[in-house]
Every structure is written in C-alpha cells, then in structure tokens.
Amino acid sequence: MALKPSRRRASRSLALQALYAWQLAGGDAPAHAATLEGWPRCDRAFAEELIRGVIASRDALEARIVPHLTRSLASLSPVERVVLLIGAWELAERPDTPFKVVINEAIELGKSYGGTDGHKFVNGVLQKLAVESRAEEIARARLTA
C-alpha cells in the first residue's frame, strides 16, 4: 500500500527542521525530530532514513553539490543547504522516488522554510544533480513526454 504524499511531505519537513537544528547546534537530530509537532502523523521510518542518511553522507553530498553552485557553500542559507542535502540524498539513495518528485518536494520545502526565491536556486542545483545521477530516468521521461 502506497503512503499518502502528505505523510512523506511531512517527513521531509520534519527532517529539514531536525537537520537545520543539527547543522546549527549539533546534537541528536533523529531524537530532536521525534519531539517536533507532526512526528506522530509522518512516515517516521522515512524521516529517520532521511536524517541519518544526510548526516552519514554529508561530505559526499556536499562534494556533489558544490560544482553546481553559483556561490560558495558557506554563503548558502542554512535552510538552502539542508534542502539541497535532502534533495541530493534522495536523488542518490531513493531511486524509487521519481526525480521530478524529489525536485518538487525540495522546491516546496524551500518555499515553506527558505527565503524569497531560494526555491528557484534549489531547483536549478537539483536539476543539474538529477542529470548526473538519474540520466536514464530523465531520458525515459523525455521519450514519453
């Protein structure tokens, strides 16, 4: 049985909040996520997988992101950085989630939590990452369009 998209979206939102706090203050991000409003209603396993995956592969994810930035990684807002990390992780580790969904969800996180137009920047970077990591899927999508 497929999960409702709203549960996955809630999971991404909670992961973003937990990773944001972890990025700024450290600590146990999965434990922090469990204290957030909405935790009981999200796909907790997916949220924990996102959080643990991003933390475990942060350096590798940042190395993949940096070539596509128009400014330094350090100059990104903490929200943009976390949204990019989540999107990059999903593109790399969750091939069961279509690339268009990954990018759209990242854009929605950027709109909800980021600054004005930050979501446009996130979109541009993740589009480039998708071409790298999901070339076959993108080619199939173009053939059926």
Q: What is the pLDDT of residues 91-124, one digit of tens each?
A: 999 999 999 999 999 999 999 998 888 899 999 9
CATH number at residue 29: 1.10.940.10
Asked if residue 4 has pLDDT above 60, the reply is: no
- The predicted-structure confidence for 62-76, as pLDDT tens digits, reads as follows 999 999 998 999 999
- Once rounded to an integer, what is the mean pLDDT over residues 34-51? 92
- Mean of pLDDT values over 22-39: 88
Per-residue confidence (pLDDT) for residue 59, from 0 to 100: 96
What is the predicted pLDDT for the residue at 5?
A: 54
Distance (Å, whole) CA 58 – CA 83? 12
Q: What Å distances lie between residue 19 and 34, 64, 82, 127, CA to CA?
A: 12, 18, 7, 22
The answer, yes or no, to whether residue 40 has pLDDT greater than 80, is yes
**By residue range, what is the domain housing residue 20?**
5-144
pLDDT of residue 92: 96
Dihedral angle of Cα 137, 138, 143, 144, to the nearest 10 degrees: 70
Q: Is residue 145 very low, low, confident or very high in pLDDT (cuts 50, 70, 90)?
A: low
Instruction: Please give the pLDDT value at position 1.
Output: 45
Domain count for the chain, please give it: 1
